[in-house]
Amino acid sequence: MSGDHSDAAIARRVRRMETLLEEKGVLSGARLDEIIDASLSGASPANGARVVARAWTDPGYRRRLLADGTAAVRELGFMEGSYQRLRVVENTADTHNVIVCTLCSCYPLRLLGPSPSWYKSEAYRSRVVREPRTVLAEFGLELPAGTEITVWDSSAETRYMVLPRRPEGTEGLGEEELAALVTRNALIGTAAV
């Protein structure tokens, strides 16, 4: 890809595409609004948090989630109608995962909600690949020197979500209480739970 990928440039391209669709009679403005509203309805990091809480409390679900993220989240009613593949990567005591989309800002919208501005920024997209430990420290996440950091690059076909480590001392909590601990940044990998 070449050219200007700033938020303003992307917004201009999106508006131009909308205008062309309307001018050619492919879709009306009202129908475009309906499609956008439908795609965003229910899009929330609370959905990803529910997936994580289920994985923390149900070992069978956790295995299914790591083997086929798309199918596992569909069990909970997410990603219906989505054509992307979801791959869930698990943080462990020795490995920490972080998500990026180096070309744009692809990520599982229905599970994480609208992407934060920093996720779309050129600085994050380029630096997290080159110096992930430094970028994570800037988010306040200091990992032990021996922790391996794996950076996963989302694409139009495959989206990623992090399965964070379950915090110690939460064994007595139910799914709803556990889900309340999970943040969008933990699902991206720029924070721990």
* Beta strands per DSSP E along the chain: 85-90, 95-100, 148-153, 158-163
Q: Is a pLDDT exceeding 80 seen at residue 45?
A: yes
C-alpha–C-alpha distance, residues 188 and 112, integer Å: 8
126 is catalytic: no
The annotation status of 106 as a binding-site residue, yes or no, is yes
Confidence bin at 173 (pLDDT 50/70/90): very high
125-135, pLDDT tens digit by residue? Answer: 999 999 999 99
Q: Which range in 23-37, 69-83, 100-114, 145-159 is most confidently predicted, on average pLDDT?
A: 145-159
2 is catalytic: no
pLDDT computed for residue 103 by the predictor = 86
pTM given for the model: 0.81
Q: Is a pLDDT exceeding 90 seen at residue 40?
A: no
101 is catalytic: yes
**35 vs 115: which has the higher pLDDT:** 115
Distances (CA, A) of 55 to 49, 50, 64, 174, 193: 10, 9, 9, 12, 14
Amino acid at 25: G
The annotation status of 104 as a binding-site residue, yes or no, is yes
Q: Is a pLDDT exceeding 60 seen at residue 4?
A: no
Domains of the chain, first to last: 7-40 (no CATH), 45-188 (3.90.330.10)
Q: Is a pLDDT exceeding 50 seen at residue 3?
A: no
**63 vs 16: which has the higher pLDDT:** 63
C-alpha–C-alpha distance, residues 154 and 134, integer Å: 20
Mean pLDDT, the chain, as a whole number?
89
Q: Is a pLDDT exceeding 90 seen at residue 146?
A: yes
- Phi/psi for 85 (5° steps) reads -90, 135
